[in-house]
Structure 1
């Protein structure tokens, strides 16, 4: 941070208008100082060396070097908090999710003319995400790729074998519903949990704070890397074993009992904790519809969304897990749940898949 205690930011975007707009928005907050504005990654590299910012905002499409290539180099050589500024397109969403995999903390959609009537809300979002990024735990890129990722998967699968989770599933033991909530850093945390699971996993519902145009590509990206089938939830879609359902952006996802089966319900009722989808909304519905036949998992994220809902699940008899501080990008939501007494267990991200599956299989005893 600067001598004044402000968060130092470098804005990287090839558009002079966007650089000016983001600078004005960020500096509207007394706790932020924009110390540099770069039109491309080469200028950004020099400014980062000279100005030592706490956070950078990074465009994806730029001349001379694209934002993804620059981000990959940056996270290998000088890991630091990065907030991506992405276009509201399907391709923009796919590239942004790739950036999250490379280590970006979060993203905001690129300001557009049609946003002009909501610039105050947009500015508040940009400021909040930059402040969150400044507090995030950043790890070198090598932690999330290549041999390290293979070792992570191997550890999880070994834990699954030791817990007997695979055998329990093949034996036809009744499966419980798993509900997963996350926010900042959650796109990667969710991927790391789901990609280790077998195709006969219990049914899973997911609420991740994400914009409307990004939830579909997010579900597609998960489906491509996971053994189980991952879909964006649709209203009245049946919830089946071997499937995971992602809440559509700007819609709440609820679970409802329909006779003997469970179904997805989506709606655009009022935001909860300033979010839609809200993790609390989903967890509350799971507590009511599935009760003790469910497992709640709260992963990395800023704020408190999901903490009260996880407590509701626990009080309804569900097993509840939260990600630990050491492996969370931001220990806001899971930390708040732990403080409320909503968590049966606090686990590192690599411990969650096996424990979650064991509890959902009906084999694992709920911790006291």
Structure 2
């Protein structure tokens, strides 16, 4: 049988190890990865590309940016999701939310063999289901388990984006904002494009960047991503794009038709020197719990480029980038945000929109055309 890749999303390391043991003893050659929080789970789905997801249902019903985490998972992967929980009466709710199978955890002290046998069977059934319904999630280059393990040695601690309770308590706007083309400002010559993104951002970038054609200004991207993955992301996008895509390096002189991706766990900023823009990539304290931070990038672009910049905020959890994008707008830059309907998580774009930092909201499929329209109709 083909190798089955299973992602287990479970906050308890003890219970995760117990699940790993139960599956390994019943499924030959199974590849297992785990995640303990939402941000990590979404990232590992992108890089591990599981055939099946096993989820603690308690995590699935947690709200992230006014959405259930299970809803975010369902949009991130087509892999069957097998949920487990303590209560039988939860089964109907889990099934209504679209899980492939729901299992009741045995109570402490009871025999767990039947539970693990049922779980293994559900994983195998889900694997066969996933083979019939292609589970590719938009990543053309598979990043292997070995590469993921390499990053665990490279980074001091996992990326953690804290849930913003105040932002989540604010209600969504009942009426969706009107989406319309962003008009060009006379005399504006865009020289820098700055993009901030997080959860779902790697897929969004894969949808946007290959559509962009030269000539275009330099593009700088702060994507919440660990080391090594930022390198792999840049290499993959460089193969897919007409523009040159590279992982930014400290001291790079910004060039047109080039995309610079911030290295994992380094903040990226730009500074004007002798009439040119120069990149700095430095390790630093996390901002909003993340490094690289979109706010750090946006603030530097506001000060260095002012009204010759375009700021874009894409899908992601939390509020990183909102204040920096507002700073860009106040300095004369153009700003756009991804709309709610096309965002995997409408957190960062919503925070920026509600702060007044976004001129217009644009669906993902129209962002590339909007970028080209703003850059080529200006000046």
TM-score by length of 1: 0.61
| Equivalent residues in 2 for 1:13-52, closer than 5 Å | 15-16=20-21, 31-32=58-59, 49-51=100-102
Query: CA RMSD, aligned part only?
Result: 4.9
8 Å contact kept, 2:298–2:321: yes
1:342-362 per-position Cα deviation (integer Å, ceiling 9, x unaligned): 000101011211212222235
Q: Which residue of 2 aligns with 1:185?
A: 200
Give the unaligned 5+ runs of structure 1. 1-7, 35-41, 54-66, 83-91, 100-107, 129-159, 165-172
Q: Which residue of 2 aligns with 1:304?
A: 319
Q: Which residue of 2 aligns with 1:199?
A: 214
> Does 1:328 find its partner at 2:343?
yes
> Does 1:225 find its partner at 2:240?
yes
1:185-242 per-position Cα deviation (integer Å, ceiling 9, x unaligned): 0001012111101132211000100001100010001101000000100011011111
| Shift of residue 126, structure 1, vs aligned partner | 11
8 Å contact kept, 1:220–1:230: yes
| Shift of residue 15, structure 1, vs aligned partner | 4.7
1:112-150 per-position Cα deviation (integer Å, ceiling 9, x unaligned): 9969x98xx65x95998xxxxxxxxxxxxxxxxxxxxxx
1:137-190 per-position Cα deviation (integer Å, ceiling 9, x unaligned): xxxxxxxxxxxxxxxxxxxxxxx9xx99xxxxxxxx954210011000000101
Q: Which residue of 2 aligns with 1:278?
A: 293
Q: Which has the higher helix share?
A: 1
Match of 2:142, SS state, is helix
Q: Which residue of 2 aligns with 1:247?
A: 262
Distance (Å, rounded) in 1 between the aligned partners of 2:160 and 2:253? 34
Distance (Å, rounded) in 1 between the aligned partners of 2:368 and 2:254? 20
Change (3 A) 1:32 1:223: same
TM-score by length of 2: 0.59
8 Å contact kept, 1:175–1:362: no
Q: Which residue of 2 aligns with 1:76?
A: 133
Match of 1:51, SS state, is strand
Match of 1:290, SS state, is helix
| Shift of residue 33, structure 1, vs aligned partner | 7.8
| Shift of residue 290, structure 1, vs aligned partner | 0.2
Q: Which residue of 1 aligns with 2:142?
A: 95
